[in-house]
Amino acid sequence: MTKAISPRSRKVRILATLGPASNTPEMIERLFHAGADAFRINMSHGDQASKIPVFQAIRALEKKLGRPSTILADLQGPKLRVGKFAEGKVTLIAGHEFTLDRDSAPGDATRVELPHREIFEAAVADARLLLDDGKLVLRVTSAQPDRLTCRVEVGGALSNNKGLNVPDMVLPMAALTEKDRSDLAFAVEQGADWIALSFVQRPEDLMEARRLIGGKAALLAKIEKPSAIARLEEIVEQCDGVMVARGDLGVELPPQTVPPLQKRIVETARRLGRPVIVATQMLESMIESPSPTRAEVSDVATAVYDGADAIMLSAESAAGQWPIESVAMMNSIADAVERDPTHGDRVHFTITRPDPTTADALSEAAKNIASTVSAAAILCFTSSGSTARRIARERPSVPIMVLTPKIETARRLGLLWGVHAVHTRDVDSFEEMVAKSKRMALRHHIGKAGDRLILCAGVPFRTPGSTNVLHVVTLVGDELKNHRGDSEGA
């Protein structure tokens, strides 16, 4: 049997994006050892065939290490772009008029094609249009079915096919394009554990993706539109997890509003028991530099103090010059923050009141008992992962070891705060649960002789959603003696 790997010392998870700088089997393993807990595959870049070896390399590493691996496939979503210019590029001057229309003829300094009828349907006078990641700003002065007359508020160079953001509109368009549907089917077929949906504007946007996934992966909503903020709680309730996609939020909203919104999204997700990822530009300077700025270190630390489940690297690990160093730096920042004596108090600034259910009551009790008796860990048996999510929501001071007979569940839990998931055979009796919990705690170095463990499970066993048992045990230390093993992965 593969030797068990000890849990991470920190509780926040690290999600590393794979790309040209990091998508070989050797680099993926180095990223793991540097601190990456889960891997993001960006479906916006490259074709599907090029991603098959990446999926395979992650799963091969899972087998080699004997530890469930977590894959998040991030869909591109609708991309709004202007058309082409006759000269390839123009300069817009502040105060001048500029028109967006449905004419496919090459543009000039006075007009250009906008090939998105949905924008014409939603546009109203005084709405802002942001071009090239917000570098240029237009203000609509007149909106007609096939023509938007605008005033240039912030000018500059504009070239072919530059992106467009519409912060003041809810567009009548689906969150999934044909490319997204194809990429989603491909990612599910390859065994992705999470599907991230871009451009979410309203809770209804999640319905088609949920149907297409068919229960084969968890669904994550990227919060990157002002319209999503307006219905944040409804969106969080409809998905399995959320991402604070600060890149587009920072384009469509004034930058000073993004930090409080980040805290609001994290708080909402935590309160509703959904894992939350803070993403984009966390260690941006490490794309080219071997060390981050002080501001970036503080930014990562803030997300950890806020109690985010995971923090994400984008181009830093995907295309930068220092992918391993970026992951190692994020790992060291998180470790330092979690060693801060005030960290435990800070992550509980968000009040997570339990729902009036037995499972929620036991999860809160498990956290409190673990603290009171100085337990080494909380262990839970789960089939669906719901018990683990409830316990993680409470942000206990000790590690959460999850034992599950479903490898799919173990993999999905890789984005959950404080969770060390183990794929192992299920148990059939209370006595077997206690004995197995002790052995697993010793084998995974999560406890030693004399340590107390808090066990959480449901009786009868093999019944999803039946969490009703909380039990405290003490490790003797010889539970592994004369025992052949627990068939992890069986």
Residues annotated catalytic, as ranges: 40, 81, 222, 280
If phi > 0 it is left, if psi is from -120 to 50 it is alpha, else beta; for residue 487 that is: left
Distance of CA 339 to the CA centre of its chain: 23
d(Cα 402, Cα 385) in Å, to the nearest integer? 8
Percentage helix, strand, coil for the chain under 3-state DSSP, each rounded to 5: 35, 25, 40
E strand or H helix that includes residue 423 = strand 419-423
Please check whether residue 74 is in contact with residue 133, taking contact to mean a CB–CB distance below 8 angstroms: no
Nearest to 202 by CA among 231, 243, 172: 231
Encode burial over 164-196: b for 16+ CB neighbours within 10 A, e otherwise.
bbbbbbebebbbbbeebeebbebbbebbbbbbb
Separation of first and last alpha carbons in the chain: 11
The residue written with tokens 């916006």 in the block is 44
Concatenating the DSSP letter of every residue in 364-414 gives: HHHHHHHHHTT-SEEEEE-SSSHHHHHHHHT--SS-EEEEES-HHHHHHGG
Nearest to 245 by CA among 179, 326, 322, 312: 312
d(Cα 229, Cα 12) in Å, to the nearest integer? 24
Nearest to 110 by CA among 85, 88, 131, 127: 85
What letter represents residue 244's amino acid?
A: V
d(Cα 403, Cα 464) in Å, to the nearest integer? 13
What is the pairing mode between strands 400-404 and 377-381?
Answer: parallel
